């Protein structure tokens, strides 16, 4: 039988760090639709050379791991007061099945890649320890009271990342006699005399600490080119009246538009286009016409909701292009004001919002002046 090396991962998630915002320890905050912890766990579970994953949680968080402890390739254990104690708890959970090697990873690095895990595992064939790092490229200063008090030579300095990989027995023994304030597992290993190789780290493998790291991680997850496009189409019929409201602007006319809300056909088309770009249904889904509270509602409520939903998904308006289809009233004299009103609601510059009009050459319902149609296209870009 060929010799097969077994590898386990210990993911340390016992910290209480809330500096990333959101009022929750960062590992429980959502990033691109799932928790930071879930991203890290999946990265290791999905790796073909990782056989087992041990998640170390804060004792108060043991109820926050729905289903993970049920997975046949996972254990969920309670950590201790310090990082070192938590790692020891994770290593102890592996004692029975004793893998050949173990990768110890900080769960707050949710963008760890399969390639990076490969590099660490690959290096363990030749050394008892291996960990990723990136060379320091910025100048380094020593600061005191907000002033530069000195400079530091950066030659030979590295920024350490995780996962840090070790032969299992060696790191378990090293941790058994480790100094309580060792900054990471490489320090523990070195203190026990183990050799640790540096493998190439990855800028994507950032550690989430503050809110800016969350934003960067969201951007990295989404990739640079996630641009969404949506369309919206709406029609409202004319009824008796003396004005219409189009894109929030009141225009005197010899008819009015009929609708459950203020019948702002232009704003509805733009709103539906935003919902469309998010694959989030349409106005009717978010504001059911059967609900009396939206009777006569001003349509900026709908557009603001769509804008906020886009922001929740990490998007803002790229541009919008709206065409109103009617014989009358004349749109041209009001088009700039309409664009400015839409821009104000959407938090965009009016140069990104086109409002134009066409007739339908007296054909069809707009041609017969039975109503107004509107068609809109919007793009959403990462906020």
CA distance 223 to 227: 10
Nearer to Mg ion, 24 or 309 (CB): 309
Closest listed residue to residue 193, CA positions, set 211, 214, 170, 209:
170
Nearer to Mg ion, 38 or 274 (CB): 274
Nearer to Mg ion, 9 or 338 (CB): 338
Residues 182, 84 contacting (CB under 8 angstroms)? yes
Report the nearest approach of Mg ion to the CB of residue 234 (Å): 4
Nearer to Mg ion, 22 or 281 (CB): 281
Q: How far is CA 365 from CA 10, 61, 326, 355, in A?
A: 67, 61, 9, 21
Nearer to Mg ion, 29 or 268 (CB): 268
Residues shown for the chain: 383
Q: How many CB atoms lie within 10 A of CB 102?
A: 31
**Which residue number has the CB closest to Mg ion?**
268
Q: At what angle do helices 335-346 and 300-312 cross, to 10 degrees?
A: 40
- Per DSSP, the residues of 192-229 read TT--EEEEE--TTSPPP-SHHHHHHHHHHHH-TT--EE
H helix or E strand, kind and range, residue 52 = strand 52-57
State the alpha helices, DSSP H only, in the chain: 36-45, 83-93, 114-123, 168-176, 185-191, 211-222, 265-277, 283-286, 300-312, 335-346, 364-367
Report the nearest approach of Mg ion to the CB of residue 132 (Å): 54
Nearer to Mg ion, 123 or 325 (CB): 325
Report the nearest approach of Mg ion to the CB of residue 259 (Å): 6
Nearer to Mg ion, 184 or 234 (CB): 234
**Residue 352 is encoded by which pair of tokens?**
């990104």
Write the burial class of residue 234 (CB in 10 Å: 0-12 exposed, 13-18 middle, 19+ buried): buried
Report the nearest approach of Mg ion to the CB of residue 319 (Å): 22
Report the nearest approach of Mg ion to the CB of residue 265 (Å): 6
Report the nearest approach of Mg ion to the CB of residue 222 (Å): 31
Helix (H, G, I), strand (E, B) or coil at 358: strand
Report the nearest approach of Mg ion to the CB of residue 247 (Å): 13
Q: Whose structure tokens read 């290993």?
A: 189
Nearer to Mg ion, 31 or 245 (CB): 245
Q: How far is CA 202 from CA 119, 131, 190, 198, in A?
A: 11, 11, 23, 12
Report the nearest approach of Mg ion to the CB of residue 272 (Å): 8
Report the nearest approach of Mg ion to the CB of residue 325 (Å): 14
Nearer to Mg ion, 75 or 264 (CB): 264
Q: How far is CA 214 from CA 105, 147, 271, 383, in A?
A: 18, 29, 28, 13
Which residues bind to Mg ion, rule: CB under 5 A?
A: 234, 268
Report the nearest approach of Mg ion to the CB of residue 61 (Å): 46
Nearer to Mg ion, 84 or 232 (CB): 232
Q: What angle do CA 230, 232, 238 make, to 5 degrees?
A: 170
């Amino acid at each position: 039988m060929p010799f097969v090396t077994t590898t386990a991962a210990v993911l340390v998630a016992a910290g209480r760090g809330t500096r990333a915002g959101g009022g929750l320890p960062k590992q429980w905050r959502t990033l691109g639709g799932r928790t930071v912890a879930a991203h890290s766990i999946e990265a290791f579970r999905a790796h073909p050379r990782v056989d087992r994953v041990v998640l170390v949680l804060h004792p108060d968080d043991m109820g926050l791991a729905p289903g993970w402890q049920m997975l046949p390739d996972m254990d969920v254990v309670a950590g201790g007061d310090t990082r070192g104690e938590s790692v020891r708890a994770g290593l102890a959970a592996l004692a029975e099945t004793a893998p050949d090697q173990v990768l110890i990873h900080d769960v707050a690095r949710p963008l760890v890649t399969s390639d990076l895990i490969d590099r660490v595992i690959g290096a363990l064939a030749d050394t008892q320890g291996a960990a990723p790092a990136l060379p320091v490229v910025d100048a380094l200063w020593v600061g005191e009271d907000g002033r530069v008090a000195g400079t530091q030579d950066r030659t030979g300095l590295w920024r350490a990342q995780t996962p840090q990989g070790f032969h299992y027995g060696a790191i378990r023994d090293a941790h058994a006699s480790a100094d309580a304030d060792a900054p990471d597992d490489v320090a523990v290993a070195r203190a026990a005399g183990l050799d640790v190789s540096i493998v190439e780290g990855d800028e994507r493998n950032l550690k989430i600490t503050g809110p800016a790291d969350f934003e960067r991680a969201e951007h990295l997850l989404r990739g640079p080119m996630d641009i969404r496009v949506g369309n919206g189409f709406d029609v409202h019929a004319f009824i008796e009246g003396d004005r219409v409201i189009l894109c929030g602007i009141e225009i005197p006319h010899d008819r009015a538009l009929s609708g459950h809300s203020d019948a702002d056909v232009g704003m509805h088309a733009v709103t539906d286009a935003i919902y469309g770009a998010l694959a989030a249904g349409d106005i009717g889904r978010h504001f059911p016409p059967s609900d009396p509270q939206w009777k006569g509602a001003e349509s900026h409520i709908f557009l603001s909701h769509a804008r906020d939903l886009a922001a929740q998904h990490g998007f803002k308006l790229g541009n919008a292009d709206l065409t109103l289809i009617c014989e009358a009233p004349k749109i041209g004299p009001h088009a700039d004001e309409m664009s400015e009103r839409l821009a104000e609601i959407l938090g965009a510059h009016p140069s990104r919002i086109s409002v134009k009009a066409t007739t339908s050459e007296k054909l069809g319902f707009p041609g017969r002046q039975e109503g107004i149609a509107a068609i809109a296209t919007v793009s959403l870009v990462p906020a």
